[in-house]
Amino acid sequence: MRYQTIKEKIRQNYGNLPGNQKKIADFVIDHFDQIPFRNVQQISQSTGTSVATIVRFAQRIGFSGFSELREEIASTLQGHLQGSALFPLIDQEELARNTLTLVANQEITNINQTLAQIEMANFHLVVDEILKAKRVYTMGLGISNLLCQILAYQLNQVGIDAHPFRHDYSYFSEQLLPLNKNDLIVAFSFPPYSVETIETARIARERGIKLIALTNRDSSPVTPYCLVNLCVRSENMLFTNSFSAISVLINAISTECAVKNKSRAEVTATEIDRMMFAQKNIMS
């Protein structure tokens, strides 16, 4: 069973799960790499649910019980991580010395876990959808608004017509009006999950506009409206989301777009160089 298949099973069944089983689903997805090392009693305590509920949850998503679910996760996780080029964490003794090291270690963990959990088929699907879209629009509020501007900027640098949704006098849903089925939206949705972003994603789905999400888990509120989502770890010491791993993913998406359409990227780079050279001559 592929690494992402279990998560996909959970995602497909999530809407039909009772509330207490949804707690278990969220816990499994958020602590996927820890499940093989926890017994059913520990998960019961962490989720505030009964052992019987955990067993029923496992059966609901296609397993005979929790033991089979845990064994399957352990097997797929081991296979996924073998050979992964994850860079080492900072030494734990050094970690205790200062805040800078502590924060750096958290960011490295976020990047490592993001690399481990992203299904490459989904990554390439995202890139392909961006390349074939007539126009790409990026959407997000809060820190996600900054990130969506960065993605739009980088896509423009490699020859893709990309525009961030503005966060000013109009709602995101109003800015959907000029879009059609040839366009694509890339939504950034991280806790506490903007209601405006989720509602706009729902409307886009109703209108047949493709939407891709960068979010922190497969069960986030925006995922039911997405063609595909990429999950990024955003744990932070502060009361906000870290964006180191998100920045890595943005850069990777833009770079892969350039690699897959070199001619478009080269034409754009040449034109940018020409304009910069002309501007330099005017200023001198």
CATH number at residue 206: 3.40.50.10490
3 state SS for 24-83: HHHHHHHCHHHHHHCCHHHHHHHHCCCHHHHHHHHHHCCCCCHHHHHHHHHHHHHHHHCC
- At residue 187, the 3 state secondary structure works out as strand
- Give percent of the chain with pLDDT exceeding 70: 88
Tell me the C-alpha to C-alpha distance, in Å, between residue 99 and each of 28, 104, 135, 181, 239: 30, 8, 42, 48, 16
Same domain flag for 37 and 155 = no
Same structural domain for residues 249 and 157?
Answer: yes
Over residues 183-211, the mean pLDDT reads 94
* Same structural domain, 70 and 125: no
Are residues 255 and 126 located together in one domain of the fold?
yes
pLDDT above 90 coverage of the chain, percent: 48
Q: Tell me: the pLDDT tens digits for 101-141?
A: 778 888 888 898 888 888 899 999 999 999 999 999 999 99
Same domain, 151 and 247: yes
Angle between helices 19-30 and 40-47 (to 10 degrees): 110
Q: How many domains does the chain have?
A: 2
Establish if 238 belongs to a structural domain: yes
CATH number of the domain bearing residue 37: 1.10.10.10
Contacts of 277 (CB under 8 A, 6+ apart): none
Q: What angle do CA 231, 233, 192 make, to 5 degrees?
A: 85
Q: Are residues 146 and 265 in the same domain?
A: yes
183, 266: one domain: yes
The band of 284, judged by pLDDT with boundaries at 50, 70 and 90, is low
Query: What is the residue type of 92?
Result: Q
* pLDDT for 267: 79
The answer to whether residue 29 sits within a structural domain is: yes
Dihedrals phi, psi of 139, to nearest 5 degrees: -145, 135
Query: In the numeric block, which tokens belong to residue 232?
Result: 């990024």
Which amino acid is it at 82? Q
Co-location of 259 and 134 in the same domain: yes
Is residue 71 located within the same domain as residue 156?
A: no
In the listed set 81, 107, 130, which residue is the last one of a domain according to the structure? 81
126 and 67 in a common domain: no
Mean pLDDT of the chain: 85
For residues 136 and 259, membership in a common domain is answered with: yes
Strand 210-215 and strand 162-164: the pairing is unpaired
Interstrand relation of 228-231 and 210-215 (parallel, antiparallel or unpaired): parallel
112 inside domain: no
Tell me the CA distances in angstroms from 211 to 1, 136, 176, 218, 244, one per residue in order: 27, 10, 12, 15, 23
Q: Is the pLDDT of residue 74 over 90?
A: no
Q: Structural domain of residue 15, as residue ranges?
A: 3-81
Q: 277 or 14, which is more confident?
A: 14
Mean pLDDT of 254-267: 88
Q: 108 lies in a domain?
A: no
Backbone angles phi, psi at 229, to 5 degrees: -130, 150
99 domain residue, yes or no: no
